Amino acid sequence: MNLQRRHVLGAALIAGASLIAPGTLANPVLRNPSSPLPGETGNADMPLALRQALSALDRHSGRIAHRDRIALADFSRHSKEMRFMLVDVAGGRIEKSYLVSHGRGSDPSNSGFVQRFSNRPGSNASSRGSFLTGDTYVGKHGRSRRLHGLEDENDMAYARAIVIHGAGYVDRGMAQRQGRIGRSLGCFAFEQAEIGEVLERLGPGRLLFAAG
**Predicted structure pTM score:** 0.81
| 99: nearest Cα among 74, 136, 123 | 74
Domains of the chain: 3-211 (2.40.440.10)
Q: Note the pLDDT of residue 123.
A: 98
Side-chain-facing half-sphere of 88: CA atoms under 13 Å: 13
Instruction: Render pLDDT for 10-62 as a digit per residue (tens, 0 to 9).
Output: 344 233 333 333 333 233 444 433 333 233 334 556 789 999 999 999 999 99
User: Average model confidence (pLDDT) for the chain?
Assistant: 84
Given a contact cutoff of 8 angstroms between Cβ atoms, the answer to whether 46 and 9 are in contact is yes
Instruction: Render pLDDT for 119-156 as a digit per residue (tens, 0 to 9).
Output: 999 999 999 999 999 999 999 999 999 999 999 999 99
